């Protein structure tokens, strides 16, 4: 058996081969469980990251309207697509969306403050948009 800690890639290939051949008793169950759980957490972080970038640009769009431009608009559109694609590919994340939104917004405020030079207190303490608004392809804050 290949050692999980000494050759991770080799270990993954060996485990896949054991699964394919039905040799379930030879599997490294403890490490497989850990890796499967890690993969799930990773997908949640990717979803949160896409939402954070989206929220940063929505904040910048609303709080620095004179700097609005095509680049910000395209980033907003791209992150909406990324977010929805990740969610579509991982529907099991849907029950976590409220927490993901809260966590992403906290990070978005910090990042928007850093990128704009505005104080963090310039932004609302709670996200001013619903997830539905934030991901709606027609929604841009301050636009009617």
pLDDT recorded at residue 142: 83
- Length of the chain counted residue by residue: 144
Q: In this structure, how many other beta carbons lie within 10 angstroms of the beta carbon of residue 87?
A: 20
Give the Cα separation of 144 and 138 in Å (integer).
Answer: 10
Reported as a single tens digit per residue, the pLDDT across 33-76 is: 999 989 889 999 999 999 999 999 999 999 999 999 999 999 99
Give the Cα separation of 127 and 100 in Å (integer).
Answer: 12
pLDDT at 144 over 60: no
pLDDT recorded at residue 40: 85
Give the Cα separation of 144 and 140 in Å (integer).
Answer: 8
Task: Please tell me what DSSP assigns to residue 129.
Answer: S
Q: Which backbone phi and psi does 87 adopt, to 5 degrees?
A: -65, -40
Reported as a single tens digit per residue, the pLDDT across 81-126 is: 999 999 999 999 999 999 999 999 999 999 999 999 999 999 999 9
pLDDT recorded at residue 77: 97
Measured in whole angstroms, the distance separating CA 29 from the mean position of its chain's CA atoms is 28
List all residues 6 or more positions away from 122 whose beta carbon is below 8 Å from its beta carbon: 63, 113
pTM value is 0.84
């Amino acid at each position: 058996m290949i050692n999980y800690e000494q050759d991770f890639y080799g270990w993954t290939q060996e485990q896949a081969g054991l699964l394919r051949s039905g040799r379930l008793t030879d599997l490294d169950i403890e490490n497989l469980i850990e890796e499967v759980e890690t993969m799930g957490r990773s997908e949640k972080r990717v979803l949160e990251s896409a939402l954070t970038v989206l929220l940063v640009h929505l904040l910048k769009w609303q709080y620095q309207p004179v700097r609005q431009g095509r680049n910000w608009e395209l980033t907003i559109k791209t992150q909406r697509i990324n977010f929805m694609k990740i969610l579509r590919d991982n529907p099991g994340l849907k029950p976590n969306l409220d927490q993901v939104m809260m966590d992403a917004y906290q990070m978005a405020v910090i990042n928007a403050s850093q990128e704009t030079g505005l104080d963090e207190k310039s932004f609302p303490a709670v996200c001013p948009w619903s997830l539905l608004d934030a991901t709606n392809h027609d929604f841009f804050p301050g636009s009617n």
